[in-house]
Chain A
Amino acid sequence: MDWEIVVGLETHTQLLTESKIFSGASTAFGAEPNTQASAVDLALPGVLPVLNAKAVEFAVRLGLAIGATISPRSVFARKNYFYPDLPKGYQISQYELPVVQHGTLKIAVEGGEKTVRILRAHLEEDAGKSLHEDFKGLSGIDLNRAGTPLLEIVTEPDLRGAKEAVAYAKALHSLVRWIGICDGNMQEGSFRCDANVSVRRPGAPLGTRCEIKNLNSFRFMEQAIEYEARRQVELIEDGGTVVQETRLYDPDRNETRSMRSKEDAQDYRYFPDPDLLPLVINEAEIERIRALLPELPQAKRERFARDYGLAAYDAAQLTASRESADFFEDLVRASRAEPKTCANWQTGEFAAALNRDGLEVGHSPVGAEALGALLRRIADGTISGKIAKEVFEAMWRREAEGPGAADAIIEARGLEQISDTGAIEKMVDEVLAANARQVEDYRAGKEKAFNSLVGQVMKAAKGKANPGQVNAILKKKLGG
């Protein structure tokens, strides 16, 4: 009998605020240790927290984007535990009353779409970092990250298997960047996932779960969940039972292992933080934030399919990020070409080039204006589609830049298409004269010979002859 893998994800997203959640220190990444740790972040005696308005706005933004309830009143609590990277000895977090509750996110799964329920999203502060190298057996504590705002987004155990978990994580990753609340940088820890994994027989109640930490890439997430599920299945099949615990994923060994240090009889002694009053968000504020929300991925996907007549797959690809979707609409405008042609170029040549160089849309050497100008040159017969690819590569290498790049390259390389009937006829005549054998074959009914003759003409024209004209003239001469 089969096993079903049940996964719930908890995602910590660092919010893109300028300052920390409870202090005016900068959140910029990569500063010298402890130079961005203010008195509040260091928990000096006597200091007090004051909540950052932007962090609240970002939480509401996410809540609206996932169709969730925004709590009119939510409460900050203290989660008490000792750790050197936690200066106050407690983390300010939301416990019983989070700011966002009960939303959903649609993800693409095999055979269609699936709605994942999001239980809650709550605001909290990040901890600092412990560094273990170079201190002769000691750890060095850097509190620059302490107090960085986090939005922890928690799903119901709705995901089935590693692939679905990754699909959800990717959709959420795209969404938080889309709505501009998180930069999504997984290397720098801006988007961190923990997975609660359990296994069960289909239809059976939920099994005992283990929480896996340290999933800092989508690949690791998939591997870790698969490993952990296998471990649990083997354990159960060997007659054992799964113990609820926190486990750390080790990507070097591709295994999860128990974190004993976290098991020190956790008792966080949550209670409402007396330094902070309840967070009250009224309807007017919610509507103000809603009005600022960009068109969301799903709405955009549907509009692209409908208004541009694109296939669902193309629409999904083009709306994978807000930058990509914006690029497409700019391209349609600039090229005045068929949206389908634009989509083919963007998901074809353009995407391949980005991929090859590991670039994001926003960092492409070829902008939508420039690419649009290139497509216009195809439409007006200046160049063929094939030559256009050559021009595109040259643009990518920055042989010329800006909206006039395509024209400049076409001119510099003399790539303008030959449409002079006389010139093409002359080339056709020469090819026919030199290839009597193929002419015979064609006339004997071998259609393939025609293609060969077209090829010869194009070769003679160095690819620049208008292919339609070549075809027409050849047909006329051979038929004549």
Chain B
Amino acid sequence: MSLDLEQIRRIARLARIAVSDAEAADTAASLSGVLGLIGEMQAVDTTGIEPMAHALDAQVSSAQRLREDKAVEPDRRTAYQASAPAVQDGLYLVPRVVE
């Protein structure tokens, strides 16, 4: 299993990670190695096996616990925005979002 540069660019675009042309070739080689490793799973017959999504779903009867509908969170905007790269009037600033 190996990836071509176009696939690398597509994945990098989806993941929003800039990959230069020079890096793309290295990335392709290294990802292909990892995909070779995980390709070993393909031969296993898993017919009729339920996917296991949680570490405990084989063990505990796992059901989602629910929270009571109560608004309990205080306004902590100042503290939460202390680490923000750019804010104005309480809003997080980003380059113009195009619709």
Contacts and interface: CB of A to CB of B under 8 A. Distances in A.
Interface of A: 17-19, 23-28, 32-39, 42, 44, 50-56, 75-76, 82-85, 130-132, 135, 137-143, 248, 259, 261, 264-265, 267, 269, 272, 274, 276-280
B97 A139 contact: yes
Contacts of B91: 33-34, 131, 135, 140-142
Contacts of A18: 69-71
A112 to B, nearest CB: 40
A34 B80 contact: yes
A130 B97 contact: yes
A37 B80 contact: yes
B15 to A, nearest CB: 9
B92 A34 contact: yes
A270 to B, nearest CB: 13
Contact of B95 (A37, A138, A142): A138
B48 interface: no
A175 B14 CA distance: 39
A277 B64 contact: yes
A143 B68 CA distance: 22
Contacts of A36: 73, 75
B71 A24 contact: yes
B47 interface: no
B6 interface: no
Contact of A135 (B65, B69, B93): B93
B89 interface: yes
20 contacts: A19-B67, A19-B69, A19-B70, A19-B71, A27-B71, A28-B71, A35-B77, A38-B76, A53-B66, A53-B68, A54-B69, A82-B16, A130-B97, A137-B95, A138-B94, A142-B91, A143-B92, A274-B53, A280-B63, A280-B64
B99 interface: yes
A62 B27 CA distance: 49
A139 B93 contact: yes
Q: Choose among A42, A131, A274 the residue with the greatest number of B CB atoms under 10 Å from its CB.
A: A42
A277 B54 contact: yes
B42 to A, nearest CB: 19
Contact of B90 (A34, A135, A137): A34
Contacts of A82: 16
Q: Size band of the B side of the interface?
A: 35 or more
A303 to B, nearest CB: 32
B90 A55 contact: no
A33 B90 contact: yes
B69 A53 contact: yes
Nearest to A128: B92
Given A51-B67, A276-B64, A35 B99 contact: no
Given A53-B67, A265-B13, 10 more contacts: A26-B71, A33-B90, A34-B80, A75-B53, A76-B64, A84-B94, A140-B89, A140-B93, A141-B92, A141-B94
Contacts of A37: 77, 80
B72 to A, nearest CB: 4
A53 B71 CA distance: 13
B76 to A, nearest CB: 8
Nearest to A262: B99
Contact of B72 (A19, A56, A142): A19
Contacts of A130: 94, 97
Contacts of A76: 64
B69 A55 contact: yes
A32 B67 contact: no
Contacts of B59: none
B89 to A, nearest CB: 7
A148 to B, nearest CB: 12
A19 to B, nearest CB: 4
B94 A139 contact: yes
Nearest to A15: B69
Contacts of A75: 53
Interface string B45-67: 00000000110010000111111
B88 interface: yes
A259 B69 CA distance: 37
B96 A137 contact: yes
Contacts of A35: 75, 77, 90
Contacts of B94: 84, 130, 138-139, 141
Contact of B93 (A27, A39, A138): A138
A56 B64 CA distance: 11
Contacts of A52: 66-67, 69
Nearest 7 interchain pairs by C-beta: A140-B91, A54-B69, A53-B66, A280-B63, A26-B71, A38-B73, A24-B72
A148 B68 CA distance: 15
Contacts of B81: 34
B77 A259 contact: no
Given A278-B62, A278-B63, A280-B64, A44 B96 contact: no
B88 A279 contact: no
Contacts of B57: 277
B88 A135 contact: yes
A145 to B, nearest CB: 13
B98 interface: yes
Nearest to A140: B91
A138 B96 contact: yes
Contacts of A23: 73
B66 A51 contact: yes
